[in-house]
Amino acid sequence: MKLKNFLYTGAAAVALFAMASCGDSKGQGNGEMHAFVDDLMAKMTLEEKLGQLNLPASDDIVTGQAQSSNIGSMVAKGQVGGVFNIKGVEKIRDLQRVAVEESRLGIPLLFGMDVIHGYETVFPIPLALSCSWDTVAIERTARIAATEASASGICWTFSPMVDICRDPRWGRASEGSGEDPFLGAAIARAMVHGYQGDNMENNNEIMACVKHFALYGAPEAGRDYNTVDMSRQRMFNEYFEPYKAGAEAGAGSFMTSFNTVDGVPATANRWLLTDVLRGMWGWDGFVVTDYTAISEMIAHGLGDLQQVSALALKAGTDMDMVADGFNGTLAQSLEEGKVDLGQIDAAVRRILEAKYKLGLFQDPYKYINVDREKNEVYTDANRDEARKIATETFVLLKNEGNVLPLKKGGRIAVVGPLGDTRSNMPGTWSVAAAFDKYKSLYEGIRDAVGNNGTVTYAKGTNLVSDPELEANATMFGREMRDNRSEAALLAEALQVARNSDVIIAAMGESSEFSGESSSRSDISLPENQKALLKALVATGKPVVMLNFSGRATIMSWESENVPAILNVWFGGSEAADAIADVVFGDVCPSGKLTCTMPRNMGQIPIYYNHFNTGRPKAQDVKFEKFRTGYIDSPNSPLYPFGYGLSYTTFEYSDFALSSTEMTADGTITASVKVTNTGSRDADEIVQFYLRDLVGSSARPVKELKGFNRINLKAGESKVVEFVITADLLKYYNFELEYVAEPGEFVAMVGPDSENVQSLNFTLK
Ligand code: BGC
């Protein structure tokens, strides 16, 4: 390793540095790291150890004043292990300098941030990204996000968020990869690798944090932070896979969730953090809490701050985000014998190891480079990739009479509350976004049409009629209220609409209508927007509805009455151009839903991989007495998991299995021919499902077990294969053993979860 000439002074610091540099931290095994950390820990006081477990937010840091800030003075005393959500390399350098020069042992800080779907180049929200089913592209988004964030001094991101969600009332559905554990696990692996690279050796590789462990996406009634209660079989088979995949991919850290898991809050749940995460999955990173999750356990009813902090430590939590429970109470608990030094040391060790693996002991300024910040953030190349990836995430739900794609010309009206708002393009959790740099939809459409036609805009209505609700849904600089009367807004919109050849209706949610603390009790299009849409349809002009959303939307009326619906989610900083690319047909839509779209609120939670029950009812039968269902609604969703149209058509044929029998050590290859039967080149996402017909426990009616995104030229055919191994047939039985039980299985293939062809085979 080369010695760097950085500002790392002080006797103790020099000694530390010499040790950390006696071998490359990477590739020489863990022996050197352990020796280094042993040596460092032998020098640490209890206060310094507890300091490493402390993660405050950065609120009071101003450039050039790190030293005199409240956090700066704590850092100087060795009372802080890391800081999060500081933006800007100068501020980060200042604070790191305090840590390495002013504190007694000079231990560098971790700098974390919620880099959830890009940094200043913002990618589509994670739910949208998952609809691309393109794990290579998703890995690229994480790679670019890491490059930009690290250029700004960040070495740790609180991502990927891998919580499975089957309840779109929950606002944080927007931050995850939808309802499926198999796809979710593939995306978790891709993102961890994208952020961390192979070993976090380079200065553009940052540490990932898999969150929120565990089950945060299953709160009762879809209400954020609410109780979660589920069987262990369901945890392991339907919710844990993405976390496990993140652990196996080597994520450096995990974040606990706010909710209870089997009655005990995750942050104090020893079974979860120690037995499952570290024991069963063999993971060796460190666990940070979510924001104030330790002190929140007082409200959960687990005791006072001292008590809940001790519980958290003993459960396997290593770092305390903001609650000041570890720093504030563990010394007393140690004195009173409520925790032991071994437990504190284990947590300190894991955090120091993370810093070692990041290379911060070798060079605490590894991520500090003003030139990089100037040259590597929001570059044209990154923006081009963001635009291309965004086009893959839009889901075409309806396209009657091939209204889409539109001609780039004529008179186009852009109407709706999402039509001309820059700040609402990136979506929730875009903490490093620069809103004024991004285009609104109207601007994107206008740029695409250029001099070939006219584009006019009218808002038509507000996001919602109720100003208080709108204020709650447009926080953090994303206000969009228009205070003219509803009648005036509508009159203007109708005039614009009547003078057009086609109407693009920009409807749906604002960025902060989903995301944290944005659960909704009704996920339909707001009534005032629906009224506008009805008026637009009534003009007789063709209407293309763009649905901006951070979750599934109920669009039963819309699906019957609006000719074309493209779900555009929140497409990131380049969303406007990407939408124009698809709307005008430069790119064929190819996204497929990763969350089921319900018909009505009563169907929620609704998901494709459900059990059969003892009284199943055919999906398309409306009502049958004494069969599982509703008296007033079909069971089937409006749009199923995996669904999405294209501007071309595909035919699936020649589905075959290489054998109808397999042994536990054998394989069967399933193959299907997919043909592009339309006139445009396009991508198709081929989906493969399995059903275990007989098990010792009830098994889902189908489970995704393979997918392949392929490109087909017009008229072209490709044969797509999926290899069935015994591993693919395994599940966690009642004893939580991971087993493939002999018997009959069904293999299914198709363009979505409902429209499948099937063949049976037997596992001997
Ligand atoms: C969220 C986390 C986030 C953390 C830090 C919490 O409120 O639940 O997802 O990483 O804040 O900003």
pLDDT per residue as tens digits for the range 556-575: 999 999 999 999 999 999 99
Q: How far apart are CA 592 and CA 749, in angstroms?
A: 15
Q: How far apart are CA 554 and CA 548, in angstroms?
A: 12
What is residue 63's predicted lDDT score, i.e. its pLDDT?
Answer: 66
Amino acid letter, 665? D
Answer whether residue 4 shows pLDDT above 70.
no
Cα–ligand 1 centroid distance for 290 (angstroms): 6
Bond prior to 160 in cis (omega within 30° of 0): yes
* pLDDT band (50, 70, 90) for residue 621: confident
* pLDDT band (50, 70, 90) for residue 620: confident
Answer whether residue 219 shows pLDDT above 60.
yes
pLDDT per residue as tens digits for the range 117-138: 999 999 999 999 999 999 999 9
Report the Cα 98 to chain-centroid distance in Å: 34
What is residue 762's predicted lDDT score, i.e. its pLDDT?
Answer: 98
Cα–ligand 1 centroid distance for 534 (angstroms): 39
Catalytic residue list contains 163: no
Answer whether residue 410 shows pLDDT above 80.
yes
pLDDT per residue as tens digits for the range 28-71: 568 999 999 999 999 999 999 999 999 999 866 666 777 778 89
Question: Which of 158, 225, 512 is the pocket-test mutation for ligand 1 (most atoms within 8 Å of CB)?
Answer: 158
| Mean pLDDT confidence for 250-271 | 98
> Torsion angle, CA of 301/307/309/314, rounded to 10 degrees?
-110
Q: How far apart are CA 258 and CA 268, in angstroms?
A: 10
Separate counts of helices (H) and strands (E) for the chain: 23, 26
Q: Is 211 in the pocket of ligand 1 (CB under 6 A)?
A: yes
Query: DSSP code of 64?
Result: T
What is residue 60's predicted lDDT score, i.e. its pLDDT?
Answer: 61
Amino acid letter, 740? A
Amino acid letter, 460? G
Answer whether residue 15 shows pLDDT above 80.
no
Q: How far apart are CA 196 and CA 210, in angstroms?
A: 12
Which two tokens mark 426? 């990136």
Q: Whose CA is nearest to atom 4 of ligand 1?
A: 291
Cα–ligand 1 centroid distance for 512 (angstroms): 15
Q: How far apart are CA 297 and CA 295, in angstroms?
A: 5
Q: How far apart are CA 629 and CA 634, in angstroms?
A: 7
Predicted TM-score (pTM) of this structure? 0.96
% of the chain surpassing 70 pLDDT: 95
543 φ, ψ (degrees, to nearest 5): -120, 130
Answer whether residue 326 shows pLDDT above 90.
yes
pLDDT per residue as tens digits for the range 340-374: 999 999 999 999 999 999 999 999 999 999 999 99
Q: Which atom of ligand 1 is nearest to the CA of 212?
A: 9
- Cβ atoms of residues 572 and 122 within 8 Å: yes
Q: Nearest to residue 54, comparing CAs of 38, 34, 73, 74?
A: 74
Report the Cα 156 to chain-centroid distance in Å: 16
- Cβ atoms of residues 648 and 669 within 8 Å: no
Which 3 state secondary structure label does DSSP give 18? helix
Q: Is 516 in the pocket of ligand 1 (CB under 6 A)?
A: yes
% of the chain surpassing 90 pLDDT: 93
Q: Which atom of ligand 1 is nearest to the CA of 211?
A: 9
| Mean pLDDT confidence for 252-278 | 98
Q: How far apart are CA 173 and CA 104, in angstroms?
A: 44
What beta strand segments (E) does 424-467 contain? 453-458
DSSP β-ladder status, 543-548 and 564-567: parallel
User: Which residues fall within 8 angstroms of residue 194, CB to CB, at 6 or more apart?
Assistant: 138, 139, 140, 141, 142, 143, 145, 146
Q: Is 172 in the pocket of ligand 1 (CB under 6 A)?
A: no
Answer whether residue 7 shows pLDDT above 50.
no
Q: Which atom of ligand 1 is nearest to the CA of 209?
A: 10
Q: Is 224 in the pocket of ligand 1 (CB under 6 A)?
A: no
In our burial notation (b when 16+ CB lie closer than 10 A, e otherwise), range 561-573 reads ebbbbbbbbbbbb
Question: Which residue of the set 114, 290, 320, 752 is catalytic?
Answer: 290
Q: Is 286 in the pocket of ligand 1 (CB under 6 A)?
A: no
Task: Count the Cβ atoms, other than its own, within 10 Å of residue 762.
Answer: 14
Answer whether residue 17 shows pLDDT above 80.
no
Cα–ligand 1 centroid distance for 319 (angstroms): 14
Q: Whose CA is nearest to atom 6 of ligand 1?
A: 291
Amino acid letter, 5? N
Tell me whether residue 438 is exposed, middle or buried, using C-beta atoms within 10 angstroms of its C-beta: 0 to 12, 13 to 18, 19 or more. Answer: buried
Cα–ligand 1 centroid distance for 99 (angstroms): 24
Q: Which atom of ligand 1 is nearest to the CA of 255?
A: 10
Q: Which atom of ligand 1 is nearest to the CA of 216?
A: 8
Q: Nearest to residue 594, comparing CAs of 395, 369, 319, 352?
A: 395
Cα–ligand 1 centroid distance for 257 (angstroms): 9
Q: Is 290 in the pocket of ligand 1 (CB under 6 A)?
A: yes
Q: Whose CA is nearest to atom 7 of ligand 1?
A: 291
Q: Is 429 in the pocket of ligand 1 (CB under 6 A)?
A: no
Q: Nearest to residue 285, comparing CAs of 203, 213, 380?
A: 213
Question: Which of 516, 517, 519 is the pocket-test mutation for ligand 1 (most atoms within 8 Å of CB)?
Answer: 516
